Structure 1
Amino acid sequence: MASNPGAARQWLAQHVQPFIPATRITCITVGNEVLSGNDAGMMANLLPAMKAIYAAVGDLGLGSQVTVSSAHSVNVLATSFPPSSGAFREDLAQYIQPLLDFHGQTNSPFLINAYPFFAYKASPGSVSLPYVLFEPNPGVSDPNTNLNYDNMLYAQIDAVYAAMKLMGHTDVGIRISETGWPSKGDEDEVGATVENAAAYNGNLMQRIAMNQGTPLKPDVPIDVFVFALFNEDMKPGPTSERNYGLFYPDGSPVYAINTGAGSASGRTGSFDPYSSQTMYSSASRLAMTSWMGVVGLLVVLFL
């Protein structure tokens, strides 16, 4: 699509336009974690493809509703702590700088896939479990700003803000395109349990429902897409990769998430998507609905 605008329009006409306005599609992400790979050709074609999709979105009259972006791993950061010292990898600067320019010009978000689970799994002895699960803890202070972080996700978000500022952009917002916690894992995947998955997603949803921002930007509510709606029982890799879902493939919930204060329940049980007792219905910005009528707010176009 980078070199064929007609293909971009055709793809949108087939995969996006027919579902609007019945489905609330707000963003198209071109590729997923392209800059974390080793395909130089794909990296070079990423921005041209995004521009082609953006032009096609405008041609079809969808520009006021649908933004265009690309999702990145937190591994695009060379430094993430303290958050105020966040910086992008030097080897990716040639790609990220024009991407940020594009986002600034089109008022589109910079997308990050952030998983505190990976940090905990790698260093369970040095990373506090309450800190990554949004549970009560003393937090970690940024020595440069004196801002206190009571959870890792917010620290990761602010590290990206700092990295963008170093590249001259304070005009680009951040959206978390993926975050979640596996309910099951291999023996060496410390922390992959139903209880921790329910706590992470439940506590996160409670904060989203409160329109909470990060310490650096307290007045800018975080915008999050939870990964994933369903367990992917045929996905390769470690056991955790098949167990990020809120639901089993048959539509039954893996665990319940409650709206009450404190930790989310780790109990499995019946699920009513419209009940006031579940966080699924009150966290309206989350990219999930009941399994009876699944719609996504984020459409992924793989290059």
Structure 2
Amino acid sequence: MAKMLLLLWLLVDLLVFIITVAQDAQPVGVCYGRVGDDLPSQQDVVNLYKINNITRMRIYDPDRATLQALKGTNIELIIGVPNDSLQSLNQQSAANTWVRNNIQNYSDVRFRYVAVGNEVDPNNANSQYVSYVLPAMRNLHNAITAAGLGNQIKVSTATYAGLLGVSYPPSNGAFNDNAREFIEPIIKFLAENNSPMLVNIYPYFVDANGNLLYALFLSPGTIVSDNGRNYSNLFDAILDAHYAAQASVGGENVEIVVSESGWPSAGGDAWTFQTAETYYTNLIAHVTGITGTPAKPGRSIETYLYSMFDEGMKPGAESERHFGIFYPDRRPKYQLSFNLIKSRNGKISERYGLLSAFSVQGF
């Protein structure tokens, strides 16, 4: 009888554990950029998301054909406001019209966030947009609230590691002095409205001191020890540096959504096809688990892979045109599973000895 009761207790505990994992886990999204002349139609792209069980998408402008194709699907959407549209939305009437045309007119699209600008920075080529970001965010928030959608759709902006002046060790993360004046009021706005910060995180672009294993989630142990927090991958270190920087300006409780992360399969120094596949595979396994980061443990990390397709017309370095996880003819470039669920320690079998471990390719 005692053995039966013990077995029953273990089974109940296992069931509760699995339900907790399923509830806490976040599906991985994929960014849909369209800077190419050989890409599928928007309807074909949405069908590809559905076929591959990709339930979150980020787009960079309110493309009507994409919004039309998303109607009636279960795909949750980050819709972007391009940087060159920010100034026009500094008028409340223009923001009201934008929300009416691009959100209210698509009531059966599952909008999640509005990304107001992308990687605007006082120190880069987007510096001319700095003064327009927060007023546009406020006006769009007002319009969304007036439409009765404030609890459903959160307004944010997408930033990146370029705003950090200090990132090592992660607990010392801080914004550049000349970026702080720009980003601090934005973070306070997010905190006041319970909205997340969107952050593009690319270990590929960050100096990993030549440690490719650290960037690819393959380090066998601790690489950075930071006041009792042990880091074995660069992604977590960058993310926690952003959290520390936010906390220093009143954003302790502002959640971070990783709005882009990826690795090119060609065109750069630290690349091979296999390297890119390894990064995407291990990134999915990491963020869909509920291990979190050393500073924010016990949670999955809402993350969007960049990007759905190679974009042959993107400007800049050759590598910029090779971040796709599908080819333009819709063939998968890699073998990825987009909704992997892992246990808190990565292997349910280690805790119970009852189920086989989840692999990085699926169940």
TM-score normalized with structure 2 length: 0.66
Shift of 1:40: 4.9
Q: Does 1:117 align with 2:200?
A: no
The 8 Å contact of residues 288 and 300 in structure 2, kept in 1 or not, is answered as no
Alpha-carbon shift at residue 92 of structure 1 (Å): 1.2
Amino acid at match of 2:273: V
TM-score computed with the length of structure 1 as normaliser? 0.79
Q: Which residue of 2 aligns with 1:15?
A: 102
Structure 2 residue matching 1:26: 3-state secondary structure: strand
Deviations 1:140-184 (A, max 9, x none): 2334x1211111010011111111121132121111111100011
Residue 204 of structure 1: how far off its partner (Å): 1.0
Size of the alignment, in residue pairs? 258
CA contact (8 A) 2:310 2:321 kept: yes
Segments of 5+ residues of structure 2 without an aligned counterpart are: 1-87, 343-357
Q: Please tell me whether the aligned partners of residues 84 and 142 of structure 1 are also in contact (alpha carbons under 8 angstroms).
A: no
Distance 1:236 1:47, change over 3 A: same
Shift of 1:260: 11
Q: Which residue does 2:319 correspond to in 1?
A: 240
Instruction: Choose 45-54 or 130-139, whichever is displaced more.
Output: 130-139
Q: Is the 8 A contact 2:119 2:126 kept in 1?
A: no
Name which one, 1 or 2, has greater alpha-carbon Rg: 2
Q: Tell me if 1:55 matches 2:142.
A: yes
Aligned position for 2:129: 42
| Corresponding residue number in structure 1 for 2:257 | 175
Whether the 8 Å CA contact 2:200–2:259 is kept in 1: the answer is: yes
Instruction: Provide structure 1 residue ranges, at least 5 long, that are not aligned to the other structure.
Output: 262-275, 283-303
Residue 139, structure 1, aligned to residue 218, structure 2: no
Counterpart Cα distance in 2 of 1:24 and 1:194: 34
Deviation at 1:191, TM superposition (A): 1.9
Q: Distance in 1 between the 2:159 and 2:189 partners?
A: 15
Partner of 1:67: 154
Measure how far apart 1:221 and its partner are.
2.1
Cα offset, 1:12, TM superposition: 1.9
For residues 94 and 130 of structure 1, the distance between their equivalents in structure 2, rounded to whole angstroms, comes to 36
Change (3 A) 1:277 1:146: closer
Deviation at 1:242, TM superposition (A): 0.7
**More divergent stretch after superposition (52-61 vs 205-214):** 205-214
Give the counterpart of 1:107 among 186, 194, 199.
194
Report percent identity of matched pairs.
35
SS of the residue aligned with 1:72? strand
Secondary structure of 1:103 counterpart: helix
How far has the Cα of 1:41 moved from its partner?
4.5
Cα distance, 1:253 vs. partner? 1.2
Query: 2:116–2:136: 8 Å Cα contact kept in structure 1?
Result: yes
Match of 2:212 in 1: 129
Closer/same/farther in 2, CA of residues 278 and 119 from structure 1, 3 Å limit: closer
Following superposition of structure 1 onto structure 2, how do residues 1-303 of structure 1 map, counting pairs within 5 Å?
Answer: 1-21=88-108, 23-35=109-121, 36-38=123-125, 40-119=127-206, 126-143=209-226, 145-185=227-267, 189-257=268-336
Q: How far 1:43 sits from its partner (Å)?
A: 0.6
Work out whether residues 180 and 244 of structure 1, in 8 Å CA contact, stay in contact via their aligned partners in 2. Answer: yes
Instruction: Please tell me the root mean square deviation across aligned C-alpha atoms, in Å.
Output: 2.4
C-alpha change, 1:135 and 1:40, in structure 2 (3 Å) is closer
